[in-house]
């Protein structure tokens, strides 16, 4: 009888339930549920609809029972930085803001009044992003201090969903590091920093590693979905899970977890918290077995996703790639990491405005717009490779691209061409696979992450691109 494992992978635009099992030495995947997600305008704020998300989580779990494929364990991963504050009755305090909401504007300056930016990086190793949890909590302190006073528990979103399923509260390490409140040397909450910032220290729970068993479904959940199973923590930060599924790691490989964001970096046993690293805006996110994900956050496919949406989904991503290739001679480039592209009312207008401001030809056709995005992204990848090699003192010969963006053939070819590195693309379902890997290691399917990665490389199609 097959042993099934369930990964619930929720991204900023959609979520899916993926069942996995091992068959003849290979991992087999089956998508059994998919649903839409997105930030909603709530009285002028960008927020997540937690009730709707939890209904979808339970619907997908029920689907396992309907298919007769009840998992032995499951785990949930999501994007980083967003959280809930719970009161003494475990009710959510205030709105559940999305990271693109504007409330964090100016909060970095408030934080730096208490601890200078360079000292903050030296302690946490986390790059400055205006939406990091540290700045979100400062916005609460400034605008809704009563919420911090009433708060009894702080949970990142996947931890909150695990709590709703089991009644047990856990804080998972990899996602916690994205808050910019975890000490990179101690691999634990920086409680001195938390006290200095004026956040209540006792709301932050002890940190648990991926592979930790949380508990079984609550009785009411078991009745609702038709069975019970164990919750095992994956790397609840979706990038943490995706990197666990990089099939060809090692000292000579870089990775790009390519989706809404492009996370480009290496796996390191030591955090790199130097001033040069901070100046170049690299981050040291926590990974499985305290392996640091030393990487740069690049805007990613959010730009082309937004362009496609504004074009009313007339073209598939594959068609946009093809159109970009045909417009490859269009010369304009933009800085994909410019704040102008974070949450513009219109991505197309933002791209055109940036080109006009920098006195470059303004893209008019869908192909020209796509060419600007893909060429600019690959330029950013090339520069990031150079930075990583300078900062680590190592030369890398391979870039492993995982996640949905690994299907962007044109972007993969540009990346190989501009970086002068071999590119290995796939698997596309890396986040769900990495989520399953953590559960499978816990249950004895693999004896190590390295063994799991070998299995991933043998189980899924990996495409190779060589530099011209």
By annotation, the residues acting in catalysis are 238
Q: Is 397 left (phi over 0), alpha (psi -120 to 50) or beta?
A: alpha
Using alpha carbons, list the distances in angstroms from residue 314 to 34, 284, 308. Answer: 22, 39, 7
The two structure tokens encoding residue 78? 């999501």
Q: Tell me, rounded to whole angstroms, the distance of Cα 174 from its chain centroid.
A: 10
**Alpha helices, DSSP H only, in 94-184?**
107-114, 117-124, 133-143, 145-150, 157-166, 173-176
**Alpha helices, DSSP H only, in 7-49?**
none
Helix (H) or strand (E) holding 17: strand 14-23
User: Please, are residues 87 and 154 in contact by the beta-carbon 8 Å criterion?
Assistant: no
What's the CA dihedral at 122, 125, 131, 137 to 10 degrees?
-60
CA distance 323 to 342: 24
Q: Give Cβ neighbours of residue 146 (< 8 Å, ≥ 6 apart).
A: none
CA distance 227 to 218: 10
The two structure tokens encoding residue 34? 């998919």
Question: Exposed, middle or buried: residue 219 (CB in 10 Å: 0-12, 13-18, 19+)?
Answer: exposed
CA distance 75 to 20: 12
Whose tokens are 């997540």? That residue is 48
User: Please, are residues 179 and 172 in contact by the beta-carbon 8 Å criterion?
Assistant: no
**Nearest to residue 327, comparing CAs of 384, 299, 367?**
367
Q: Give Cβ neighbours of residue 427 (< 8 Å, ≥ 6 apart).
A: 245, 247, 402, 406, 433, 456, 459, 460, 461, 462
**Nearest to residue 54, comparing CAs of 149, 162, 135, 195?**
162
Which residues are registered as beta bridge partners of 17? 8, 33
Q: Give Cβ neighbours of residue 405 (< 8 Å, ≥ 6 apart).
A: 256, 258, 259, 262, 300, 301, 411
**Alpha helices, DSSP H only, in 270-331?**
275-279, 302-310, 317-326
CA distance 447 to 394: 29
In the DSSP assignment, the letter for residue 78 is B
């Amino acid at each position: 009888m097959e042993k099934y494992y369930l990964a619930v992978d929720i991204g900023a635009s959609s979520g899916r339930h993926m069942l996995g099992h091992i068959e003849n030495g290979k991992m087999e995947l089956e998508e059994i549920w998919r649903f839409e997600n997105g930030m909603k305008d709530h009285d002028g704020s960008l927020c997540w609809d937690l009730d709707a998300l939890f209904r979808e989580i339970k619907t997908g779990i029920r689907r396992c029972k309907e298919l007769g494929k009840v998992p032995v364990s499951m785990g949930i991963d999501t994007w980083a930085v967003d959280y809930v504050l719970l009161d003494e009755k475990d009710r959510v305090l205030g709105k559940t803001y999305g990271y693109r909401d504007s409330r964090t504007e100016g909060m970095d300056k408030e934080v730096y009044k208490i601890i200078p930016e360079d000292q903050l990086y030296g302690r946490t190793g986390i790059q400055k992003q205006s939406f990091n949890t540290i700045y979100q909590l400062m916005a609460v302190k400034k605008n809704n201090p009563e919420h911090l006073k009433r708060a009894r528990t702080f949970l990142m979103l996947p931890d909150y969903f695990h709590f709703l399923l089991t009644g047990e509260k856990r804080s998972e390490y990899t996602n916690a590091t994205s808050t910019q409140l975890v000490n990179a040397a101690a691999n634990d909450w920086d409680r001195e920093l938390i006290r200095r910032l004026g956040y209540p220290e006792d709301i932050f729970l002890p940190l648990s590693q991926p592979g930790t068993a949380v508990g079984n479904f609550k009785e009411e959940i078991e009745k609702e979905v038709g069975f019970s199973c164990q919750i095992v923590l994956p790397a609840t930060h979706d990038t943490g899970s995706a990197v666990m599924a990089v099939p060809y790691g090692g000292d000579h490989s870089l990775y790009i977890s390519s989706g809404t964001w492009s996370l480009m970096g290496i796996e390191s046993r030591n955090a790199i918290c130097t001033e040069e690293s901070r100046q170049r805006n690299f981050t040291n996110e926590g990974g499985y077995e305290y392996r640091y994900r030393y990487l740069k956050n690049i805007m990613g496919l959010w730009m082309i996703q937004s362009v496609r949406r504004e074009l009313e989904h007339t073209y598939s991503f594959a068609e946009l790639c093809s159109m970009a290739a045909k417009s490859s001679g269009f010369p304009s480039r933009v800085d994909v990491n410019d704040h102008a592209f974070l949450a513009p009312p219109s991505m197309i207008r933002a791209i055109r405005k940036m080109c006009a401001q920098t006195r470059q030809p303004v893209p008019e056709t869908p192909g020209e717009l796509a060419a600007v995005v893909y060429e600019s992204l690959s330029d950013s990848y090339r520069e990031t490779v150079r930075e990583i090699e300078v900062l680590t003192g190592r030369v890398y010969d391979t870039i492993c691209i995982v996640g949905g963006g690994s299907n962007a053939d044109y972007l993969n070819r540009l990346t190989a061409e501009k970086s002068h590195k071999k590119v290995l693309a796939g698997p596309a379902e890396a986040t769900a696979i990495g989520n399953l890997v953590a559960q499978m290691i816990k249950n004895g399917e693999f004896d190590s992450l390295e063994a799991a990665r070998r299995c991933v490389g043998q189980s899924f199609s990996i495409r190779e691109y060589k530099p011209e």
